[in-house]
A = this chain, B = another copy of it.
Amino acid sequence: MVTLEDVARHAGVSLATASRVLNGSARQVGAGLRAKVEQAAAELGYRTNVAAQTLARGAGNVIGLVVHDLVDPYFAAIADGAVRAAEAHGMVVMVGTTHRDPAKEIAYVSSLGAQRARAVILAGSRTDDPSAAALRAELDRYRNGGGRVAVIGQDLLGTDTVAVANRAGAAALAEALTAMGHRDFAVLAGPPGLITAVDRCEGFAGALPGPAPQIVHGPFDRDGGYAAARSIGPGVTCVFAVNDVMAVGALAAFRERGVRVPDDVSLAGFDDIATLRDLVPALTTVRLPLAELGARAVELALGDGEEPSVVHVEGEVVIRESVRAR
């Protein structure tokens, strides 16, 4: 491998000068030497050793992104946004997938700390269980080492946050559905302890003028929606799944049982994942700018680093065929 020293020798300058030319520095270098160094680097095919650079500088160019599941379109979209934004800043993204295991989330933060990652971004909502304390401890340690942390979702870790208006979005959806004549709702509410799920569920229920909705708990994924939909009691005219992948599962369950959407029951989700586009019927949902969430988190984490700041993002109700007025 060609090292900086090789380049310097080849160009007939000192190591310091070569470094200043090739890897950016506050100091200026004269045009003549600068050209010589650049040419030498090109001829030799020099490539910076990022590990050495990271060691010397004390900070790397890696941004860590921790998601639950890359196959879930929700996280895929966020990751996409994050990768693009990182790229624009000359950073590169390392992804970890936890598959909803809090221990793995902690392990990833720890590993990213070891990498001296510039920032870590946590996507995917937290539960309120005891492992949260351990995660917080790990994050604190990471930050004490000079790292930055940004969270996508709820503002509860005391860090930079891209906060999603889950309650408001769900409430707006509830109002829209009510305005279309629905009164008897079921909510596929996800896991009882998952903050995002709880917020959406409560936001929705709180905005309902009529009777309290039927609440069905279950996993936060497609199969969770599928299972939950099968245990909805009678008399419901409209079902709200707290995220789109659950709604997709619910739709499959309805289809299998011969329940027609929207003729027999209306259905709405939350997130507006890309794959909804080709679903029949098209799914009513609350649109979130997913790629933007990822990108904003990156910007935040790369920001100047004063007080932890919170960016608020709102959802927009999108009514599609899966809901019919009563």
Contacts and interface: CB of A to CB of B under 8 A. Distances in A.
Contact of A70 (B50, B76, B94): B76
Given A49-B116, A110-B47, A278-B252, A62 B94 contact: yes
A97 B83 contact: yes
Give how many copies assemble into the complex: 2
A252 B97 CA distance: 32
B71 A84 contact: no
Given A94-B93, A116-B50, A251-B278, A76 B71 contact: yes
A26 interface: no
A115 B51 contact: yes
B62 A55 contact: no
B114 A48 contact: yes
Given A80-B97, A111-B92, A116 B252 contact: no
Given A80-B71, A83-B95, A51 B55 contact: yes
A323 B254 CA distance: 23
Interface residues of A, number: 50
Interface string A266-296: 0000000011011110000000000000000
Contacts of A19: none
Contacts of A251: 278
Given A71-B73, A255-B280, A280-B255, A49 B45 contact: no
A95 B96 contact: no
A252 B145 CA distance: 51
A133 interface: no
A62 B116 CA distance: 13
Contact of A50 (B87, B115, B145): B115
A184 interface: no
A113 interface: yes
29 contacts: A47-B113, A47-B114, A47-B141, A49-B55, A50-B114, A50-B116, A51-B54, A51-B60, A51-B116, A52-B55, A62-B94, A70-B79, A70-B80, A71-B77, A71-B80, A73-B73, A73-B76, A73-B275, A80-B97, A83-B96, A92-B94, A92-B96, A92-B115, A93-B95, A93-B96, A222-B278, A248-B278, A255-B280, A275-B275
